[in-house]
Amino acid sequence: MKKPLQLFWSFFKIGAFTLGGGYAMLSMVEKAVVDQKKWIPTDEFWDMIAVVQSLPGVFAVNTALYVGHRVAGTKGAFAAMLGAIIPSITIILLLATVFREYRDQPVVERIFKGIRPCVVALILAPSLRMIKSAKVTWKTAIIPIATVFLIWWCKISPAYVILAAIAGSLVYALIINKKAKEKEVRS
């Protein structure tokens, strides 16, 4: 089988069977690409993932594109990407037609009435975990608080908030890098 086709099939299986978002998918990608096919060495794979994680966009799509590109060029990149998203698109299209048909059924409405508050909790919980892992102090707590205030209270588009945050973080990173360099020069 040709490489792009193999890539498509590997990512199709991963896209069709991994629940729980992008990161749950990683070990499956590693197994397929590194262990079984031996397309990419382990350390190079994780270096690549480190770069991909820092990019905007859909994590699974980015991973597929980079792995595909590394293994088989442009054809590989597109084959892997299509493999990763076709299962999702198909499943949602099928569900969307069914859901529209049945959502006004009292039984379905009752079930979703119970689910909605749970979804709110499932969104709030990881955001607080993220604050913990980002080591936010009392001084830096102003950043998430301001973000919430601007988006939730002032209804400012998150797009502007993200752009402002990127600008701020970049300045912060430049200062840190400069300090690190000065230290190097001194020692």
Partner 1 sequence: MIYLQLLWVFVKIGVLGFGGGYAMLSLIQHEVVDHYGWMTMTDFADMVAISQMTPGPISINLATYVGYTTAGLGGSLLASFALCLPSIIMVYLILKLFMSNKNNALMDNTLKGLKPAIAGLIFAAGLSMMNLQNFPDFGRGQYNISVIICVLAFVASYFFKANPILLIVISGIIGFIVY
46 forms part of the interface with partner 1 (CB under 8 A): no
Site for partner 1 (CB under 8 A): which residue of 2, 21, 44, 102? 21
**b/e code 87-121 from CB counts within 10 Å (16+ = b):** beeeeeeeeeeeeeeeeeeeeeeeeeeeeeeeeee
The reply to whether 60 sits near partner 1 by the rule CB under 8 A is yes
How large is the angle between the packed helices 3-17 and 21-30, nearest 10 degrees?
A: 140
Cβ–Cβ < 8 Å for 94, 25:
no
Decide if residue 5 touches partner 1 (CB under 8 A). no
**Minimum distance, C-beta of residue 7 to partner 1, in the bound complex (Å):** 14
Residues in 73-112 that interact with partner 1 by CB under 8 A: 77, 81, 85, 87-89, 91-93, 95-96, 99-100, 103, 107, 109-112
Q: Report the nearest approach of partner 1 to the CB of residue 28 (Å).
A: 11
CB of 164 to partner 1, least distance (A): 8
Contact 15, 86 (CB under 8 A): yes
